[in-house]
């Protein structure tokens, strides 16, 4: 167990970590950067990472395995115009960084004289997830006991529950970014997640229910029975509900989305389309739409990396830019893109703190953090009763978007028919498909019940996964295509 | 960057040291996977190089099993630090971690049956060993130029990307098995954008192979990608209907992959597959034969032994529509009282699990063009998006884009629709299988026609 000084920020602790363990001080960082700058590059940066991940999982009533993984390395990038050279090594040392810098700089031919890099000791941004015990330091035995409690609790909920799978996944990540402009920022990021999946059986019919939750906080926060039992209750409820669910209708209809996780609509329909790289290259359906109306009046969408403890939150991004609260759509009008350094520079705007990467082995890209729609004023009940016949979708699995055509899909894990303005029969397997640039223009009602998701989202782009969050109040969207099998 | 790659002998020494360390720390059984590789990737967009990425990576995964009261306790640790003291420390940590878990009577290494023959599967061409980065940049440039120059409506692109990777795998276990193999993979991918009026569309084409010489010509990759993007221009929704649906060679493999995931031993013993009680029964139309073969020469999924040291082999999953076998590793096999089918897949950071190797659907007689010519009214699916498949129930509903066909002619492109059904019904109603079988990855399938699915649109 590592006890830490509560007055130290995550940034301080990460700097100490890399200095004490790997001899990475300002001088050695400058030396590695100097190697990259010997060629005609605009900019170079180093990204050091040391991540411990552990997971313990239960199946068939026993905790069958414990895993512990160590991932460490350095990625070095040299940038010239739109061109990036990248090399990485799984060894954390100044020598490895210098070697990688020698490879990364190969995108530029000409050598040059340059002033030595002067590392600046700037502020580390926010301190959004201070913890005193790393989740990976919580003893495995405690996690095993907890999983056994989850199993017993789930099985006691209903005789129809035939299988329970549960896992506790903890991550503790140290990062250090140093760049040729003197940027030097470090961070320690905790991440926890508890997953519960149950299988309900009734005769020959079987259905799965899943619920997970987590964020950047101490594992202890999830240990409160009210919190984890709530997850199990949900997983069991969804599995049992789906045993009763009917085939989903097919065709265009009015849809009411519930609060929280259905915010994946924003992530897929507009979020990716507003990432700086696609807009700089003009490959997004949202290219050149800045200042134009892309959503109904009253729709304001924000990407906010600064919410304490959230899964998608970051003190600084993976290029050293402090995270921000960025308004993307304000009262229906497109006002902002999400940027990393490269694309912001090429577009002549400021970085927005959205330069993120999966690991040292990946180039940073403009990515979302926590993306949500601000609350409106309407009563969710009234929104439901405003729809005569349609679909009410409460929870979702995954989604995907085609940036260029703007077409997106997301799949409901809990949905109901709306019949005569009331919640009707549950339906299963509903996939919703729509067109990003116009779907938000068809939002006709916005509830006052904004909620963020439970903290389980992972976004994939270019083969890189990063943790994200979404949020939504209850909204009504007209004329969305629902992909079921029933007429 | 290959100068400092370890030799096979050095890697074997690390594996042996990890096995000895695990035994010394108290493990009754252990197995160790060590992978070292180097990878290069380059993307060209327009006339500019967008990025050049080079890396050397290594990963060591140690699984230990400790004897408990009624079975064995298991843990898995992984690291990239191969220093002898670091490896010994990780092995000891693994044993301590295992002791905190529950004993599982089913856990354990295979008792016997380890691979003794390690055939040369042509996974690597020594001629490609030192392929110059410049040569791959040239490939990406040729693909990009061909895509951009194909038609004036190709106005932009996400770029063309070439990659070359080489890896050496060493696996050893406490039963005395120690094996290794080298493999390579090369790829080329192009993703242009077409624009006309308000419609902007992207599409892609790709090729990948174990040998550089086996890649499709770079210019052909670019042209094919451009052709696909252009034919999507002006796509629209269609009215909700039930029609025959043809999956083309790019989308059909996903269906075959979903069938394989539903016959994995894990989903069977967990009762989470709709095929769980169908062994020996008809699950598909009579001309449906699905094979997984880990020993196809040059196959992108080929390897001489699986993630537990068992020999890979040819498994006929579905023969003439009848489900013949589950895909099993040792653990899921024991659960079902069956021997392993040599289907263990193992990464350094994970326990063995069931995976496919080279998986395909046997082709039929007619070309895709002929299948389209025979279609009175229906849909050709050229791209699928989203994850709407439930293996427990077989319920299937995914976003799609493609081509609308009437009287044997392609009428217009289609987008913003979903196709839905149940995989069980879909397999039974496959009424045509095309002739073109092209490998672009580990799973391949010719075009498939399904007699009827629900297309949801306007």
The per-residue pLDDT for A9 is 87
Q: What are residue A221's phi and psi, to 5 degrees?
A: -60, -30
Task: Give the helix ranges, DSSP H, for B74-217.
Answer: 84-99, 133-148
Q: What are residue B441's phi and psi, to 5 degrees?
A: -170, -150
First to last CA, chain A: 59
Q: What are residue B255's phi and psi, to 5 degrees?
A: -65, -40
Contact across the interface for A483 and B416, Cβ inside 8 Å:
no
Same domain, A229 and A273: no
* pLDDT higher than threshold 50 for residue B14: yes
Q: What is the ipTM of this complex?
A: 0.93
Contact across the interface for B457 and A407, Cβ inside 8 Å:
no
The per-residue pLDDT for A486 is 84
Q: Is some CB atom of chain B closer than 8 A to the CB atom of A433?
A: yes
Q: How confident is the model at residue B136 (pLDDT cuts 50, 70, 90)?
A: very high
**Structure tokens, B3:** 């100068």
Contact across the interface for A68 and B75, Cβ inside 8 Å:
yes
| Cβ-based neighbours of A463, under 8 Å, separated by 6 or more | none
Contact across the interface for A435 and B416, Cβ inside 8 Å:
yes
The per-residue pLDDT for A487 is 66
Going through A375-442 in order, the beta strands assigned E by DSSP cover 389-401, 407-419, 422-428, 431-435
Same domain, A225 and A301: no
Same domain, B218 and B346: no
| Dihedral of alpha carbons B46, B50, B55, B60, sign | negative
**Is-contact A215 A310, C-beta < 8 A?**
yes
* pLDDT higher than threshold 70 for residue B102: yes
Q: Is some CB atom of chain B closer than 8 A to the CB atom of A156?
A: no
What is the full DSSP assignment across B229-298? HHTTTT-B---SEEEEEEE-TTTHHHHHHHHHHHTBHHHHHTT--TTTT-TTSB-S-TT--EEEETT-TT
The per-residue pLDDT for A117 is 87
Within-domain flag for A2: no
Which of the listed residues A227, A244, A261 is the one where a domain comes to its end?
A244
| Residue that has been written with the tokens 């990425």 in this structure | B53
What is the full DSSP assignment across B10-27? HHHHHHHHHHHHHHHHT-
Closest residue in B to A401 (Cα) is B385
Q: Is some CB atom of chain B closer than 8 A to the CB atom of A163?
A: yes
**Is-contact A265 A395, C-beta < 8 A?**
no
Same domain, A265 and A404: yes
| Cβ-based neighbours of B46, under 8 Å, separated by 6 or more | B144, B148, B157, B159
| Among B418, B426, B441, the residue to mutate for chain A (most A Cβ within 10 A) | B418
**Structure tokens, A152:** 């017993």
Region B416-433: mean pLDDT is: 97
Same domain, A299 and A217: no
**Is-contact A117 A37, C-beta < 8 A?**
yes
The per-residue pLDDT for A115 is 82
- Residue of B55, B240, B270 with shortest CB distance to A88: B55
What does pTM read for this prediction?
A: 0.95
Closest residue in A to B58 (Cα) is A90
What does the angle CA B55 – CA B59 – CA B61 come to, to the nearest 5 degrees? 170
Same domain, B218 and B248: no
Closest residue in B to A79 (Cα) is B51
Within-domain flag for A441: yes
**Structure tokens, A435:** 């067109």
**Is-contact A275 A365, C-beta < 8 A?**
yes
Which of the listed residues B228, B245, B262 is the one where a domain comes to its end?
B228
Contact across the interface for A429 and B385, Cβ inside 8 Å:
no
**Structure tokens, A374:** 């601000």
Stretch among A78-87, A111-120, B85-94, B178-187 having the lowest mean pLDDT = A111-120
**Structure tokens, A428:** 């299963």
Same domain, B241 and B157: no
Count of Cβ atoms closer than 10 Å to residue B150 Cβ: 20
Nearest to B375 by CA among B279, B248, B264, B266: B248
Nearest to A325 by CA among A313, A341, A342: A313
Same domain, A274 and A181: no
Contact across the interface for A483 and B200, Cβ inside 8 Å:
no
Within-domain flag for A4: no
**Structure tokens, A222:** 């999830």
The per-residue pLDDT for A110 is 82
Same domain, A285 and A392: yes
Counted across chains A and B, CB pairs separated by less than 8 A come out at: 248
Same domain, B239 and B358: yes
**Is-contact A175 A360, C-beta < 8 A?**
no
Structural domain span for residue A215:
10-244
The total number of structural domains that make up chain B:
2
Same domain, A223 and A309: no
pLDDT per residue as tens digits for the range B31-74? 999 999 999 999 999 999 999 999 988 999 999 999 988 899 99
Same domain, A129 and A198: yes
- The size of chain A, in residues, is 487
Distance from CA of A203 to the nearest CA of B (A): 13
- Residue of A64, A107, A428 with shortest CB distance to B49: A107
The total number of structural domains that make up chain A:
2
Within-domain flag for A128: yes
Same domain, B217 and B172: yes
Which of the listed residues A193, A221, A244 is the one where a domain comes to its end?
A244
Structural domain span for residue B28:
2-228
- Alpha-carbon Rg for chain B, nearest whole angstrom, is 24
| Cβ-based neighbours of A468, under 8 Å, separated by 6 or more | A267, A311, A312, A367, A368, A369, A370, A371, A457, A458, A459
Same domain, B443 and B302: yes
- Residue of A165, A405, A483 with shortest CB distance to B456: A483
CA atoms of A109 and A105, how far apart (whole Å): 8
- Residue of A250, A252, A282 with shortest CB distance to B454: A250
Same domain, A274 and A409: yes
Same domain, A133 and A268: no
CA atoms of A427 and B55, how far apart (whole Å): 48
Q: Is some CB atom of chain B closer than 8 A to the CB atom of A208?
A: yes
Q: What is the dihedral of CA A217, A222, A223, A224, to 10 degrees?
A: 120
The per-residue pLDDT for B2 is 35
Give every residue of chain A whose pLDDT is below 50, as ranges.
1-3
| Dihedral of alpha carbons A85, A88, A92, A98, sign | negative
Nearest to A366 by CA among A294, A317, A314: A317
The per-residue pLDDT for A7 is 67
Distance from CA of A130 to the nearest CA of B (A): 27
Same domain, A140 and A230: yes
Nearest to B53 by CA among A463, A273, A282: A463
Nearest to A399 by CA among A349, A451, A459: A459
CA atoms of B280 and A76, how far apart (whole Å): 55
Same domain, B13 and B123: yes
CA atoms of A94 and A91, how far apart (whole Å): 9
Q: How far is CA B177 from CA A346, B78, B168, B312, in A?
A: 55, 20, 17, 15
The CATH number that applies at residue A231 is 3.30.2290.10
- SS3 at position A232: helix
Nearest to A255 by CA among A133, A394, A353: A394
Same domain, B339 and B193: no
Same domain, A361 and A394: yes
**Is-contact A303 A368, C-beta < 8 A?**
yes
The per-residue pLDDT for A116 is 83
Contact across the interface for A64 and B398, Cβ inside 8 Å:
no
Same domain, B131 and B240: no
């Amino acid at each position: 167990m590592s006890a830490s000084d509560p007055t130290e920020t995550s940034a301080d602790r990460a700097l100490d970590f890399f200095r004490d363990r790997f001899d990475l001080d300002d001088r050695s960082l400058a030396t590695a950067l100097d190697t990259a700058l010997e060629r005609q590059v605009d900019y170079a940066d180093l990204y050091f990472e040391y991540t411990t991940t552990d997971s313990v999982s239960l199946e068939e009533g026993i905790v069958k395995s414990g895993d512990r993984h160590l991932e460490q390395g350095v990625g070095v990038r040299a940038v010239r115009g739109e061109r990036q050279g990248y090399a990485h090594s799984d060894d954390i040392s100044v020598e490895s960084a210098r070697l990688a810098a020698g490879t990364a700089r190969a995108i530029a031919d000409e050598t040059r004289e340059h002033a030595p890099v002067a590392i600046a000791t700037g502020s580390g941004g926010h301190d959004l997830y201070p913890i005193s015990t790393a989740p990976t330091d919580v003893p495995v035995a405690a996690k095993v006991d907890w999983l056994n409690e989850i199993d017993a609790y789930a099985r006691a909920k209903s005789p129809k529950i035939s299988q329970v799978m549960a896992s506790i996944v903890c991550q503790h990540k140290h990062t250090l970014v140093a760049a040729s402009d003197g940027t030097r920022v470090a961070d320690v990021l905790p991440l926890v997640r508890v997953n519960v999946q149950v299988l309900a059986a009734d005769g020959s019919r079987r259905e799965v229910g899943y619920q997970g939750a987590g964020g950047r906080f101490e594992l202890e926060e999830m240990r409160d029975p009210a919190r984890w039992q709530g997850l199990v209750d949900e997983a069991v409820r969804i599995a049992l509900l789906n045993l009763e669910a009917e085939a989903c209708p097919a065709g265009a209809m009015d849809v009411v989305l519930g609060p929280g996780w259905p915010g994946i609509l924003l992530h897929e329909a507009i979020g990716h389309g507003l990432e700086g790289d696609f807009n700089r290259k003009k490959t997004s359906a949202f290219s050149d739409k800045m200042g134009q109306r892309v959503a109904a009046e009253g729709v304001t969408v924000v990407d906010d990396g600064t919410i304490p403890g959230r899964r998608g939150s970051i003190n600084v991004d993976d290029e050293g830019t402090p995270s921000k609260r960025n308004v993307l759509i304000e009262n229906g009008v497109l006002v902002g893109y999400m940027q990393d350094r490269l694309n912001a520079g090429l577009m002549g705007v400021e970085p927005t703190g959205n330069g993120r990467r999966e690991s040292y082995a990946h180039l940073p890209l403009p990515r979302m953090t926590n993306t949500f729609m601000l609350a409106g004023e309407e009563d969710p009940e009234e929104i439901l009763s405003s729809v005569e016949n349609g679909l009410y979708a409460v929870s979702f699995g995954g989604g995907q978007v085609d940036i260029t055509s703007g077409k997106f899909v997301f799949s409901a894990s809990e949905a109901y028919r709306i019949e005569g303005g009331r919640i009707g029969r549950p339906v299963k397997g509903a996939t919703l498909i729509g067109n990003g640039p116009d779907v938000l223009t068809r939002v006709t009602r916005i509830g006052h019940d904004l909620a963020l998701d439970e903290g389980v989202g992972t976004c994939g782009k270019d083969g890189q996964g990063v943790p994200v969050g979404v949020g939504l109040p209850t909204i009504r969207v007209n004329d969305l295509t629902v992909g079921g099998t029933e007429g | 960057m290959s100068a400092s790659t370890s030799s096979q002998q050095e890697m074997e020494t690390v594996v042996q040291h990890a096995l000895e360390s695990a035994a010394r720390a108290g493990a009754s059984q252990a197995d160790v996977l060590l992978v070292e590789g180097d990878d290069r990737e380059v993307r060209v967009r327009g006339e500019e190089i967008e990025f050049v990425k080079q890396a050397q990576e290594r990963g060591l995964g140690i699984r230990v099993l400790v004897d408990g009261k009624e079975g064995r306790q298991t843990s898995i640790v992984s690291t990239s630090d191969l220093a002898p003291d670091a490896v010994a420390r990780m092995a000891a940590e693994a044993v301590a971690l295992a002791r905190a878990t529950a004993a599982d009577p089913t856990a354990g290494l295979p008792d016997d049956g380890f691979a003794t023959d390690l055939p040369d599967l042509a996974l690597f061409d020594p001629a490609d060993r030192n392929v110059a980065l410049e040569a791959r940049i040239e490939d990406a440039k040729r693909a990009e130029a061909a895509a951009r120059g194909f038609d004036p409506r190709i106005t932009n692109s996400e770029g063309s990307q070439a990659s070359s990777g080489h890896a050496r795998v060493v696996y050893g276990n406490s039963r005395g098995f120690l094996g290794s193999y080298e493999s390579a993979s090369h790829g080329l991918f192009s993703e242009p954008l077409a624009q006309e009026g308000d419609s902007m569309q992207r599409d892609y084409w790709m090729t990948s192979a174990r040998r550089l010489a086996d890649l499709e010509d770079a210019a052909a990759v670019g042209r094919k990608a451009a052709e696909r993007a252009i034919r999507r221009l002006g796509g629209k929704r269609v009215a909700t209907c039930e029609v025959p649906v043809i999956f083309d060679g790019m989308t059909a493999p996903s269906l075959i992959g979903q069938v394989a995931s539903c016959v994995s031993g894990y989903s069977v013993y967990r009762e989470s597959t709709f095929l769980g009680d169908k062994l020996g029964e008809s699950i598909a139309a009579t001309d449906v034969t699905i094979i997984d073969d880990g020993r196809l020469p040059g196959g992108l999924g080929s390897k001489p032994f699986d993630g537990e040291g068992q020999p890979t082999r040819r498994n006929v999953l579905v023969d003439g529509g009848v489900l013949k076998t589950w895909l099993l590793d040792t653990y899921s096999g024991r659960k079902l009282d069956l021997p392993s089918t040599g289907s263990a897949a193992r990464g350094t950071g994970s326990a063995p699990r069931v995976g496919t190797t080279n998986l395909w659907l046997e082709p039929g007689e007619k070309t895709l063009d002929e299948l389209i010519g025979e279609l009175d009214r229906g849909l050709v699916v050229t791209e699928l998006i989203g994850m709407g498949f439930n293996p427990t129930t077989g319920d299937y509903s995914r976003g799609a884009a493609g081509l609308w066909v009437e009287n044997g002619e392609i009428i217009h492109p289609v987008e913003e629709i979903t196709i839905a059904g149940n995989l069980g019904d879909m397999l039974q109603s496959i009424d045509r299988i095309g002739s073109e079988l092209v490998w672009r990855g580990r799973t391949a399938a010719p075009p498939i026609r399904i007699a009827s699915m629900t297309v949801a649109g306007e």
